[in-house]
């Protein structure tokens, strides 16, 4: 599994012209740094390392911070071994892979798609919604038709491995009682050398969810929020908890009061723990970056990891946990 994943990531990296760094090793080529502003990129989970590397290469090549986050999360979307995002994502209870994604730029513009099927890169459709329509979100069939009208091709996103996991799950479940536990959405927020921020978030959502279920990831303010004057935040984990508290917006609003990204993430998790009865297997993680380039991640429970790249050094960090 490890070798296959490494091979696929290397092929993907080669196809988009990047070299994947080992965690902690500096990457050749650094984004131009203007006085007072240090580029930084933060993203959720282990797969954030490859995504960060691709995003950093974009900044180093002088591309916009929006290009950076879009390119970064596309790496996870295309990776069949990331079973909670895009191609290879685990399906809903009926066996369909449905995707949620959103994106925000430094002007505060936003685009999103929800319950989108058969499109490899929902984040790019979300960007197109933001840039080419007067709307923020398209869902389901309408989102698919919009994508196809704009040149996206249909793809089968259910890999043989994901199908096997679903078939095994089906045998052990009572009909009509879908449950979901897998949840490692990629959320990414980046700060460029000019001090501009952008963010992206994309997922196949909870595995074996009820057909039609949409989580936090495409909801602006829940799965992702960016305010270019303050900072940005993204969420991963059980989307229902994040939606009920508008978690990423809350993190950014906490940072607006002057507290650090770490304190802000922790306070948003405290809000969840105070307001919502939690089951023992429910995890939520927040990542945040301030306008000054401070970064942090925080988990409701142990096991949340996030990736940060600064000065070309790409590191996987274990987040502190609230509970
Ligand atoms: N956080 C991803 C989801 O709940 O769908």
- pLDDT tens-digit readout, 79-92: 999 999 999 999 99
Give 97 Cα–ligand 1 centroid separation in angstroms. 13
> Which amino acid residue places its CA nearest to atom 5 of ligand 1?
205
Give the Å distances, CA to CA, from 22 to 91, 123, 296, 297: 31, 25, 21, 21
Whether 162 has a pLDDT exceeding 80, the answer reads yes
- Region 220-236: mean pLDDT is 98
Q: Please tell me the predicted confidence (pLDDT) of residue 11.
A: 38
**Token output for 266:** 């922790």
Q: Please tell me the predicted confidence (pLDDT) of residue 21.
A: 45
Give 239 Cα–ligand 1 centroid separation in angstroms. 4
Q: Are 206 and 238 in contact (CB under 8 A)?
A: yes
Q: Please tell me the predicted confidence (pLDDT) of residue 24.
A: 52
Q: Please tell me the predicted confidence (pLDDT) of residue 173.
A: 80
Pocket test for ligand 1, best of 73, 86, 183, 240 (most atoms within 8 A of CB): 183
Q: Please tell me the predicted confidence (pLDDT) of residue 180.
A: 45
Beta-strand relationship, 98-104 and 197-203:
antiparallel
Options 3.40.50.1000, 3.60.20.30, 1.10.1740.10, 3.30.70.920; CATH for 35-321 is 3.60.20.30
- Region 257-272: mean pLDDT is 98
Listed in order, strand segments (DSSP E) in 37-109 are 40-44, 98-104
CB neighbours of residue 43 within 10 Å: 33
Of 44, 69, 53, which Cα lies nearest the Cα of 287?
Answer: 44
Does ligand 1 lie within 6 Å of residue 185's CB atom? yes
Ramachandran area for residue 45 (φ above 0: left; ψ -120 to 50: alpha; else beta): left
169, with CB counted inside 10 A (0-12, 13-18, 19+), is middle
CB neighbours of residue 150 within 10 Å: 12
Tell me the pLDDT band of 317, cut-offs 50, 70 and 90: very high
CB neighbours of residue 145 within 10 Å: 11
Tell me the pLDDT band of 6, cut-offs 50, 70 and 90: very low
71, 98, 185, 245: the active-site residue: 185
Please provide the average confidence, as pLDDT, over all residues in the chain.
Answer: 90
Q: Where are the domains of the chain?
A: 35-321
* Closest ligand 1 atom to Cα of 206: 5
φ/ψ of 216, rounded to 5, equals: -75, -25
CA atoms within 13 A on the CB side of 313: 6
Catalytic, 185? Answer yes
Does ligand 1 lie within 6 Å of residue 203's CB atom? yes
The residues, ordered by sequence, that sit 6+ positions from 61 with a Cβ below 8 Å of its Cβ are 29
Give the Å distances, CA to CA, from 60 to 38, 85, 161, 309: 12, 26, 36, 12
State the Cα–Cα distance between residues 5 and 106, nearest whole angstrom.
33
Whether 174 has a pLDDT exceeding 70, the answer reads no
Does ligand 1 lie within 6 Å of residue 205's CB atom? yes
Does ligand 1 lie within 6 Å of residue 218's CB atom? no
Q: Considering the entire predicted model, what is its pTM?
A: 0.89
Whether 5 has a pLDDT exceeding 80, the answer reads no
């Amino acid at each position: 599994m490890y070798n296959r994943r490494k091979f696929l990531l290397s092929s993907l990296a080669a196809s988009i012209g990047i070299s994947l760094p080992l965690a902690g090793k500096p990457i050749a080529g650094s984004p131009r740094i203007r006085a007072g502003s240090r580029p930084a990129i933060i993203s959720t989970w282990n797969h954030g390392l490859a995504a960060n590397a691709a995003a950093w290469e974009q900044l180093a090549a002088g591309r916009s911070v929006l290009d950076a986050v879009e390119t970064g999360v596309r790496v996870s979307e295309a990776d069949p071994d990331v079973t909670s995002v895009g191609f290879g994502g685990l399906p809903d209870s009926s066996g369909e892979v449905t995707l949620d994604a959103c994106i925000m730029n430094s002007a505060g513009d936003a685009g999103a798609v929800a319950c989108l099927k058969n499109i490899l890169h929902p984040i790019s459709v979300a960007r197109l919604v933001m840039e080419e329509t007067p709307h923020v979100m398209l869902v389901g069939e309408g989102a698919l038709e919009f994508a196809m009208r704009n040149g996206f091709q249909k793809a089968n996103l259910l890999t043989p491995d994901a199908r096997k996991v679903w078939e095994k799950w089906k045998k052990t479940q009572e009909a009509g009682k879908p449950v979901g536990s897998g949840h490692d959405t990629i959320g990414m927020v980046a700060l460029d050398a000019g001090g501009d921020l952008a963010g992206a978030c994309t997922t196949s959502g909870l595995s074996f969810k009820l057909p039609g279920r949409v989580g936090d990831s495409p909801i602006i303010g829940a799965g992702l929020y960016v305010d270019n004057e303050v900072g940005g935040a993204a969420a991963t984990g059980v989307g229902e908890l994040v939606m009920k508290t508008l978690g990423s917006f809350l993190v950014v609003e906490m940072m607006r009061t002057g507290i650090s990204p770490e304190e802000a993430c922790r306070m948003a998790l405290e809000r969840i723990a105070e307001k919502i009865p939690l089951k023992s297997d429910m995890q939520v993680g927040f990542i945040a970056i301030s306008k000054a380039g401070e970064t942090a991640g925080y988990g409701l429970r142990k096991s949340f990891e996030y990736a940060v790249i600064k000065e070309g050094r790409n590191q996987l960090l274990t987040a502190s946990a609230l509970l």
